Amino acid sequence: MAPFGKFYTYPDNYRVQRAQAIAALNGLELEIVPDFQMNVTNHSPEFLAKFPLGKVPAFESSDGTLFLTEAQAIARYIADSGPKAEQLLGEDAKTRALIEMWACLADQELAPNATAPFLMTVAKMWEYDEKQYETHLAAVERATKRIATELKDGRKFLVGGKLTLADIMVVGVLQWATKFFVDEAMRKELPGVEEYVRGILEVPELKAAFGGLELCQTRVKA
C-alpha cells in the first residue's frame, strides 16, 4: 500500500499519534519523515515553502498537492478519507457538531492548558511561574470535569454508542496529560474518566498508536 501522506514531526507527538490511530482505523498508511530536527528542519527554506509558519506537526499528501498544519484539521482530513469516515465524523449535522465540539475542547482547552505546565517543568523551555502553572492546571481540571459529566452512568463514548473522532481527540490529550499532571488527587475529582480513557486505549488501533496508560501519582513541578 502506498502511503496516504507523510508527517514532519518530533518523536512521541500525541497529535501525530492521534492521526496514526485514525489512519489505522481507516486502513491508511502514514509515513514519518526521517531525520526531522525540530527548529532546524522546520526553519529550512524547503519546509517553509510548503508550510510558511514553520509549524509542527505538518502533513503532506502523497501526491504533493496538499500541505496541512493545525492538528485538528489534519485529524479531520484523515478521518474523512477512508471507509470509517461516517462513523468517525458523524452521520448527520447534529452528530457532526457534537463531535466537533469535543475535538475543539481537546485542542482549545485541554491541550494548551496542559502544554504550558509541560513547557515550564518537563521541557524547561519556559520560566516557571507558580501562579500560571496552577491556573493552567485548574483549566485542565475544569475541562476534564466537563468530560466526566458527559460520561455519567458509565457511558463508554462521548457521542453516541461508538468510537468517533471526539474520543480520539480527547483521549489523545488526556493519555499524555496523565503522565505528568492529571495526578491521583485530580483523578479523584473526575469519576469515570480513567475508566473511559482505559477503555478507548483498548481499541487495537489506539493501543498501537499510544501504548498503555501511564498515571502519575503526583504532578510534575519545577
Please check whether residues 22 and 61 belong to one and the same domain: yes
Cell numbers placing 54: 514553520
The contacts of residue 210 (CB under 8 Å, 6+ apart) are 14, 17, 21, 171, 172, 175, 201
Q: What is the CATH number of the domain that holds 108?
A: 1.20.1050.10
Instruction: Kindly write down the DSSP assignment for every residue of 8-74, as one continuous string.
Output: E--TT-HHHHHHHHHHHHTT--EEEPTT--TTTGGGSHHHHHHSTT--SSEEEETTS--EE-SHHHH
Please check whether residues 81 and 108 belong to one and the same domain: no
Q: Is residue 221 part of a domain?
A: no
The answer to whether 6 and 31 are in contact (CB under 8 A) is yes
Alpha-carbon gap, residue 141 to 137, rounded angstroms: 6
Please check whether residues 150 and 55 belong to one and the same domain: no
Q: Is residue 112 part of a domain?
A: yes
Query: What is the side-by-side strand order in the sheet with 67-68?
Result: 30-32, 5-8, 58-61, 67-68
Please check whether residues 46 and 133 belong to one and the same domain: no
Please check whether residues 100 and 205 belong to one and the same domain: yes
Please check whether residues 100 and 127 belong to one and the same domain: yes
Cell numbers placing 51: 508550510
Please check whether residues 97 and 203 belong to one and the same domain: yes
Tell me how far the alpha carbon of residue 217 is from its chain's centroid: 22
| Residue 162 pLDDT | 96
Please check whether residues 125 and 138 belong to one and the same domain: yes
Q: Is residue 216 part of a domain?
A: no
- Residue that is last in its domain, among 86, 105, 125: 86
Please check whether residues 116 and 103 belong to one and the same domain: yes
Q: Is residue 217 part of a domain?
A: no
| Residue 2 pLDDT | 80
pLDDT score of 1 more than 70: no
Per-residue pLDDT, averaged over 198-214, amounts to 97
| Residue 153 pLDDT | 87
Q: Is residue 46 part of a domain?
A: yes
Per-residue pLDDT, averaged over 71-83, amounts to 98
Q: Determine the structural domain holding residue 111 and report its residue range.
A: 90-210
Per-residue pLDDT, averaged over 193-208, amounts to 98
Please check whether residues 73 and 16 belong to one and the same domain: yes
90-142: per-residue pLDDT in tens? 999 999 999 999 999 999 999 999 999 999 999 999 999 999 999 999 999 99
- Cβ count near 142 (within 10 Å): 12
54-58, 129-133, 153-157: the lowest-pLDDT one: 153-157
Torsion of CA 39, 40, 46, 47, to 10 degrees: -30
Residue 205, classified by CB atoms within 10 Å of its CB into exposed (0-12), middle (13-18) or buried (19+), is middle
Q: What is the average pLDDT score of the chain?
A: 97
pLDDT score of 179 more than 80: yes
Cell numbers placing 175: 493519555
Residues composing the chain: 222
Q: What is the CATH number of the domain that holds 15?
A: 3.40.30.10
Q: In total, how many domains does the chain have?
A: 2
Helix 71-79 to helix 14-25 angle (10° resolution) is 10
Alpha-carbon gap, residue 55 to 69, rounded angstroms: 6
